[in-house]
Amino acid sequence: MNHAPTAPTRNTKVMDRFDLTKRLVARLKNEEAVIGGIGNTNFDLWTAGHRPQNFYMLGSMGLAFPIALGAALAQPSRHIFALEGDGSLLMQLGCLATIASLAPKNLTMIVMDNGIYQITGAQPTPAATVSDIVAIATGAGLTQSTWAADEDDFERLIDNALTNDGPNFIAVRIDDKPGAGTTDRDPVQIRQRFMLGLGVRKQI
């Protein structure tokens, strides 16, 4: 019958989403765009301090990477980051193959892996104890996919991503804490500010 799977042994430190988000944002000096996925990833991005180049996704679970891919294709000279939860990514794994096939140099995907759907009550995801998200990404053709071992390693990987040709895929193991705040839920304003931040629209 069903055996409880044993979690694979990992050498990756369990980190804090909000702390890592702040570390990412602190390293952005060239108006890089950041797409926050549903729930906690965009809550922490918002709470880390709003930037005009941030986009906060209020629904459409799983579409943070596709949205980032579109922005990366539209603006090849701007680096685009996307923050996604592991549960959200599981909903749209096919996008990893699409991104691998297009291979945008200016795209970096970051997965915040807590093994749970934190925001809906911390239920484990089907992948929680059995799947390796970096192996999935590598198998999809994203050859530059890696776990961040700890905070210093995460910062090193971000710095690499900013100088090397992407696409880059960085997974981090995080604890089960909720987001550090909540984004102002005004989709039209979020979209308009983002377009201003990307230089697509001018303030009137």
Ligand X SMILES: Cc1ncc(C[n+]2csc(CCOP(=O)(O)OP(=O)(O)O)c2C)c(N)n1
- The one segment of 2-10, 86-94, 149-157, 162-170 that binds ligand X by CB under 6 A: 86-94
End-to-end CA distance of the chain: 65
Choose between 32 and 44: whose C-beta lies nearer to ligand X.
44
Look at residues 179, 197, 201, 154 and name the one whose alpha carbon lies nearest to residue 55. Answer: 197
Helix residue ranges per DSSP H, the chain = 17-26, 40-47, 64-74, 86-91, 94-102, 133-139, 151-163, 187-197
- When CB distances are held under 5 to 8 angstroms depending on the partner's kind, the choice from ligand X, other proteins, none that residue 28 binds is none
Tell me which of 36, 62, 115, 166 binds other proteins, using CB under 8 A: 62
- When CB distances are held under 5 to 8 angstroms depending on the partner's kind, the choice from ligand X, other proteins, none that residue 108 binds is none
Point out which residues bind ligand X (CB under 6 A).
38-40, 61, 85-88, 114, 116-120
Point out which residues bind other proteins (CB under 8 A).
33, 35, 55, 57-75, 78, 92-95, 97-98, 101-102, 187-188, 190-191, 194-195, 198-200
